[in-house]
């Protein structure tokens, strides 16, 4: 099964880059020609276009909700409006982008999983995660690795 793992976020805005950091860690664990790992910095149409030609897409992104920092869970596509980066203010949200892609005849994944990691600081310019996320990210990445 041809799979793409997408780390989504902004790598220079502290915890907003947690999806990208997770994808980088996964790239050191996964050695499979059927798996591609990419970093994507914006949602919407660009996120959809990155999935073209794959059977399965696994997206990792930061979320800000009322959950404890470092909480990790899978969201349904209908729930990803809470995600930090799955939409683009310059074009559209991922759900609409996927619908448009399918209408255009693009080959898009039948299976799309979306993992959200509760962030603390999504406003500070920094390439470093908050201390809380630094401490739990290895365990989160191991959980993702085991599930794929």
Q: What is the pLDDT of residues 83-114, one digit of tens each?
A: 555 555 556 788 888 899 999 999 999 999 99
Question: Which residue ranges form the domains of the chain, and what is each CATH number?
Answer: 3-147 (3.40.50.1450)
> Which residues are paired to 75 by β-bridges?
114
Residue 134's SS3 state is helix
> Which residues are paired to 62 by β-bridges?
117
Sign, CA dihedral 77-82-88-91, equals positive
Q: What is the pLDDT of residues 111-137, one digit of tens each?
A: 999 999 999 999 999 999 999 999 999
Residues 82, 118: Cα–Cα separation, whole Å = 11
- pTM value is 0.90
């Amino acid at each position: 099964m041809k799979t793409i793992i997408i780390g989504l976020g902004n790598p220079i805005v502290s915890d907003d880059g947690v999806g990208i950091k997770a994808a980088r860690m996964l790239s050191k664990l996964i050695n499979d020609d059927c798996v591609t790992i990419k970093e994507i910095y914006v949602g919407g149409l660009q996120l959809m276009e990155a999935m073209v030609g794959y059977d399965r897409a696994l997206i990792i992104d930061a979320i800000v909700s009322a959950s404890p920092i470092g909480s990790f869970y899978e969201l349904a596509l209908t729930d990803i409006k809470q995600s930090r980066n799955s939409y683009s203010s310059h074009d559209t949200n991922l759900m609409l982008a996927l619908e448009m892609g399918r209408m255009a005849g693009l080959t898009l994944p039948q299976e799309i999983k979306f993992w959200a990691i509760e962030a603390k600081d999504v406003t500070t310019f920094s390439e470093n995660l908050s201390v809380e996320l630094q401490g739990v990210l290895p365990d989160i990445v191991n959980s993702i690795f085991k599930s794929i």
